[in-house]
Amino acid sequence: MINYLEISNFVLVKKLKLQFTSGLQVLTGETGAGKSVIVGAIDLIFGGEVHAGMVLDKSKPAYLEVGIENSEKNIALTKLLKKYEIETTENDIFFAREIKNNKRSRSFINGRRVARDIIEEFRDVLIDFHSQRDQQRLFQSSFQLEILDRYAKLITQRSSFQAQYKKLENEITELHKIQKKEAENREKMQLYKYQIEEIEAAELKSGEDEKIQNELEILDNAESILENCAEMENEIYEKEDSIYEILSKFASILENYHQENTKKAASYLQDSLAALDDAVAEIRELQNKVDLDSSQKENLETRLDIINSLKTKYQKDIPEILQYYQEIKQKTENFKSDTNKIENLQLTIAEDFKILKQQADQLSNKRKEAAVKLEKLIEKNIRDLAIPDARLNIQFDKINKDEKKLNSLAAYSEFGYDKVEFFFSANKGIAPQPLENVASGGESSRVLLAIKKILSEDLEPKIIIFDEIDTGIGGQTSELLGQFISQIASTHQVLCITHLAP
């Protein structure tokens, strides 16, 4: 239970410390008297959202602290303290929050700074807030299902279903990931196969493009090359007084002299004659290569077009294309399909869906059994709150009625395949209709209070906060409401905020 609440520099409050006792605590006053500040402070300490304007003196932070009795009766609290290794040397556990003007804040448990999600875990086991916002939640199918599950004590079983649901969710995500990768790899292998065939068909050879370009250059100049070569051979060898003849003549003359200089000159001339022989040999070889047949040129140009097309396509030269060919050939040879992995995972998913459906069936059956009892209990408690002809039915539907889709997560939520809806009638002779369509503010408030009372009977001792639960209620009904809340306060600490006079 809450032993004290301390507020500093918060909203309109400079400094305030309230002491609380067990049982029922009532805060009453007119609208604007500051009752909501108390509830707001407790809400903020336990993870509520910070808004602008909460800090009174902007030069320093607001500080909120609550002392909660460290009761061994609250097993869930004891487990959380152990889980987060929070030491408790006093009878109270101190929860605090410091809020700055820029809306930044820090939360503490026994002076140790903790994350907001940890605080919210403690909130769930310590405090049950009942506000007008809960009345709006009462109309939501998910909240109605939670009420039924809490009454039927199915929260643990529901958690097992959630774990199985999450397991399947992860498996399906993994399956889609593997299938996508498999499709991408197969597409890539098809591309590689095409490229391998294309490169093999081209029969590329390193340096081939340069060789063809040289040959084409020769063919482009074939006529002039042949003419020049013929003229050159004629000038060197064949005509009268040819270069070779003249040089040979003077070489012979010089050899008849015995001076050193003439010997050297004769030797140089002989070298020149040998060089001319070599030059003519090269010329004759070139002449043999030159072919005036146009088909040879066309064939070479076609071949070069094929090579250049591949070079452009792959953005590589011939050696690089051949290297790429070896790489992709190796990849295709080493490729291993994930087909077996996919099939095994599909089998696992199919088995897990069977388990999921079994768990969903069990949840649904237990819910339907509990719903019959809960309907009667809610009706009884609502009638005790001055709605004597009240009737409440819990109706079931499925998220997806197509039985064929029970092997798809689309047929489930994380709580099973059930959808429930509370149907309500406040008047005799009027068939129950969806609660949100027919219940007034006062009626929905009493329905929710009846549910809270029923659920509180099986709860570990908790702090239950009613924030203006009496909205839309007055007169004798408010007296019945007070008696009703007093019954809850016999087993729980109840903090009740009301606009009604005591």
| Tens digit of each residue's pLDDT, the chain (502 residues) | 899 999 999 988 999 999 999 999 888 877 666 778 888 999 999 999 999 889 999 999 999 999 998 877 778 888 898 999 988 877 889 999 999 999 899 999 999 999 999 999 999 889 988 766 667 888 999 999 999 999 999 989 999 999 999 999 999 999 999 999 999 999 999 999 999 999 999 999 999 999 999 888 877 776 677 677 777 777 787 788 888 878 888 888 888 887 888 878 888 888 888 888 888 888 777 777 666 555 777 888 899 999 999 999 999 999 999 999 999 999 999 999 999 999 999 999 999 999 999 999 999 999 999 999 999 999 999 998 889 999 999 999 998 877 666 778 989 999 999 999 999 999 999 999 999 999 887 788 889 888 888 888 776 778 888 877 666 566 677 778 888 888 888 889 999 887 665 5
pTM flag (> 0.85): no
Residues with Cβ within 8 Å of 344's Cβ and at least 6 positions away in sequence, in order, are none
Domains of the chain: 1-130+461-502 (3.40.50.300)
Measured CA to CA, the distance from residue 108 to residue 97 in angstroms comes to 6
Helix (H, G, I), strand (E, B) or coil at 365: helix
> Do 16 and 35 form a contact (C-beta atoms < 8 A)?
no
Residues with Cβ within 8 Å of 414's Cβ and at least 6 positions away in sequence, in order, are 161, 162, 165, 166
* Amino acid letter, 293: D
Measured CA to CA, the distance from residue 46 to residue 28 in angstroms comes to 23
Q: What kind and span of H or E run contains 435? A: helix 435-438
